[in-house]
Structure formats: C-alpha cells, structure tokens
Chain A
Amino acid sequence: MRNVAVIGAGVSPFGRLDQLLYQEIGRPAVNDAIENSGIDRKLIQSCYYGTCGGVGVGHEIMNETGLIGIPITRVVNACSSGSNAFRLAYMDIASGMSDCAIAMGIEKMKDVSMMVVGGGTRFQIEGKAYAHGFPVAIGGAGGMPAGFALMARAHMKEYGTKNEDIANIVVKSRKNASKNPKAEFQKPMSTDDVLNDVMINDPLTRSQCCPRTDGAAAVILMSEDWVKKYNIDTPIWIKGSAMGSHFLMPELEYHGIYTDLLTSQKVFKMAGVEPKDFYKRGFGECHDCFSISELVHYEDFGLCKKGEGADMINDGVVEIDGDLPINPSGGLLSCGHPLGATGVRQITEILFQMRKDKEVAKRQVPDKHLDIAFTHTLGQPGLGFTNVMHVFSRDLK
C-alpha cells in the first residue's frame, strides 16, 4: 500500500438550498478544493462521489469543472456515502491505480426518501417477514430518531445518564457552530433551550436530532510520490482507513453501537495509535446524528469507559479548548446532515484545522491537538449499519 495524503478541500454552505441546482452547490466545493490544493486540475485521474439522491450529478459537476473523461463512480451507502467515496479514492491511490483523485459528497435532501435509505426497501423485499422484529408500527417520526431515543433511555437506565447530559452535547455543538459560517444552525442554545424544544421521540427533542440539510464538500487526494513531485505544501496523511458493517437484528445493543467498537479498533490499529493518544495531541469529527449518538461514540471508540460519556461533555473534555476536542465544526447537529456530503465535510474540517486555514480561524483547535485526528460516520442502509473511520496525521511517519 502506498502512502496517500489529502491536499485540498472545499465545502459549500450547508442549509436548505432548494433554489439551487446540484451543480451550483457542488461546483464551488470542487473548485475550492482544487484551488487550495494548488494543483493543476489536469492531474486529477479519478472521481468518487457520495450521494443518496443525486443520480448522475457527479458527471454534471465534473463536466462543469472540466474534469469529465476520468472514471466517475457514484457511491450510495446511506449516511456513510461520502466517507465511503473518500475511502474508495484512498484505495484507488494506495493501490497504485491512480496518483490523484477527487472525493466529493453532495446531497439535496428533498430528493432523498428516508423510508428508502433507512428501511423502506427492505420492507418491500421482506414484506411481512419484518413486521415482526422492527418497529414498523412506530409511525410519526419513527425510524432513525426512534432508534436513538431507545438508545438514550437504555443508556440513562444503565448508567444514570441524565437528560441534561445529552442535551449538553447540543449546547457544545451550537457553541462551536456559532463560529462556523457554513453551519445551518449557528445560534447558541442553552441546556434548557434544548430540553424545552419540541419533543420528537422521548427523550430526544428536535434540536437533539440533526436536520435534513443540503450541501456539498470535496477533497483532493494524492500519492506520496506525487506530493513530492509537485512539492505540495502541508499534505495531511491518511494513516488509517476502516469500514465495518452489522445488521440491526437480532443483536440489538442499546447501550452503544457494536460496529463503532469494531471499526474504531481496526482503524486505530492500522494507524498505530490508541484512543488515549488523541488526548492532548488529537481531535476528531464524529457522527453526531443525534445527541446521544455522540455520547456513545466516545465510549465505543474507547475514549472513555462505558457509561462515562456524560463526564466527557460535562467536564469540558470535548470542547475546542478541552483535552480532546470533538466536532469543532459543530458536527451534524448544527452543520446539518446532507447524507452524501457529511463524511467528506468532516475531512475538510480535519484538513482546514491541521493546516490552520483561515476557514476555521474562529474555531481553531489549539496547536498541541493538531498531530492526529479521526473522522467517523455511521450509516444505516436499510436495517444494516455501515461505519467508516479514518485517522489522519500531519507527519508521514
């Protein structure tokens, strides 16, 4: 396997962008990524893009940005579509097939049916078989929020976690997003604001559920040989890449996510790091699709013991100026969650932070934390789980 670096990144503003075409959302992200990588776009040899709803939009955007003619692959893997596209671009270069690739994520959520992404297709296939075993009768805002609400209550009962603890995840998210002009929600919220918001699935209120958002992000990847050949400034090296899957039934584990545990162990091993290494010298972007999910990710990644996730947020450990900053961008809860774009957006944050780019000037993670970083997405295609994690480093060795 060859060493691969991320050398450029671009991200569109996230929000409700109904009036814009896919090309209008994606083109600036792609052009920004190429521009700040400092390379000639003719060097890009392949494209992988994640999107659940945008059929063929990769071709349209690559055409508009002068990249048509290269292999273009659409990746559909629910909330991990973007990170999965990035992983394929990484594998493309690591294997020696290409020396330079672009990974893009884009979504307009009006084109995405969550009933199809999150279970509907299975129901059509399985028919009555799944009437027993999955909460088809939940109705309302069933599905994703319902599943994580069950997790929240189970965690509260098992470990004494309080409503306030998981609400504080949102408070931290909004605080960070108030310094991110591209986040959908930038207004700070108090714990009471979060708890008194509209109830979706008890105990999760509206602001504890990430919004359906439109947006795009893109990153440029390059082989070590070409990084040297083209004298790339400040490459960010990919030290680990891992992906895991699991099926929701019957092994429901409602105090955490089994695949988080397995995937994090794999990616940390590949990168030669341990969870404790991220304290004092690292940071991360994780899949906070719901408030409770960020809290259980801390535990499942081994960043703290099981049941101690609430201490991470209440003691300020995961704040930008804490011992292990998590989601300095504001995460999914505040940036929003365009399914295909999220995984790539997380990587743009890692690159901007490690490069101390002006893009993140107001939410810059302190110097001492910029050695290593991780990203994590949790996709739920149908009734399955798909986790994708990456570890990055400023140093090649």
Chain B
Amino acid sequence: MENLITRPKIPKLIENKINAVKCNNCGNIRYPARSYCNKCQGTDFSSVLIGPKGVIQTYSSNYQKKKRDKKQIFGLVTLFSEDGKDSFNLMGTFVTENFDEVKIGKEIELLPNEKTTLFKIIGD
C-alpha cells in the first residue's frame, strides 16, 4: 500500500532557487514535487533547481478598498535554471508599490522566503 504521505519531505527552496523535480520520461517540471507526472504519469524524477532569475509574463494589482490598504502588485513569471535548459511558471508578489516599474518582459529575481513568493525587479 502506498504511504499515506505521498509527498516527498523536501525543502521547497534551496537558497533562492525552487527545488523542483523533472520527469525523466517527458521532461515535465513539477513543483512542489509529486510522486506522479501529471503529463505522462511517469514516476521517475530527477531533482532540478530553477531560478532565481526569470522574466515577468503578466501582472496586476490588488483591490484597495480603503486608501490605507497596501498596494500589492502580483504576477506570473517564468523562472529559468542557471543553464537555461529548464523553466517554470510561478506566481508571486513583486516587492514594489510602483505599478509603472512592473512591465512584461522585465527581469526579476526570486527572493528567499519560506512563507510566500516574492520577486525583486532587477532589470529590463
């Protein structure tokens, strides 16, 4: 019988890179790690570190009901492995309140944070 706790107990981040797994059959990246590939149902995985650098794919901001509500700008980025061979889309919050600073295609860096996903904008 399969262990009731099927999820490998591995850290989500190693420094500021996401600790994902890559299916050795089809190359699909899974994060957080899972026992089965959701594309080919394979079970043979290798560890892969992705990030910390990536580019912004899309973004938006939260609804500020009251003026004192903190403006949060969030979005979807594509993170790349250091060798550029692997990539993964990840949602998170940008550490800026300047909406004009965030643009699709801008380079970001994933910040180490175990509780939430934070991106720092580092270039064009």
Contacts and interface: CB of A to CB of B under 8 A. Distances in A.
B10 to A, nearest CB: 11
A150 B99 CA distance: 14
B62 interface: yes
Contacts of A150: 58-60, 75-76
B74 interface: yes
Interface in A151-174: 151, 153-154, 157
B89 interface: yes
Interface residues of A, number: 35
B30 interface: yes
A350 to B, nearest CB: 34
B63 A153 contact: no
A236 B8 CA distance: 51
Interface string B81-121: 00000001111110000010000100000000011111000
Interface string A128-153: 11111111111111100110011101
B7 A132 contact: no
A17 interface: no
A133 B117 contact: yes
B62 A146 contact: yes
B32 interface: yes
Interface residues of B, number: 36
B12 A202 contact: no
A140 B116 CA distance: 16
A129 B58 contact: no
A344 to B, nearest CB: 30
B65 interface: yes
Interface in A194-241: 199-204
**7 closest Cβ contacts across the A-B interface?**
A140-B62, A141-B63, A154-B58, A149-B60, A140-B63, A150-B58, A137-B116
Interface of B: 7, 12-13, 18, 29-32, 38, 57-65, 69, 72, 74-76, 88-93, 99, 104, 114-118
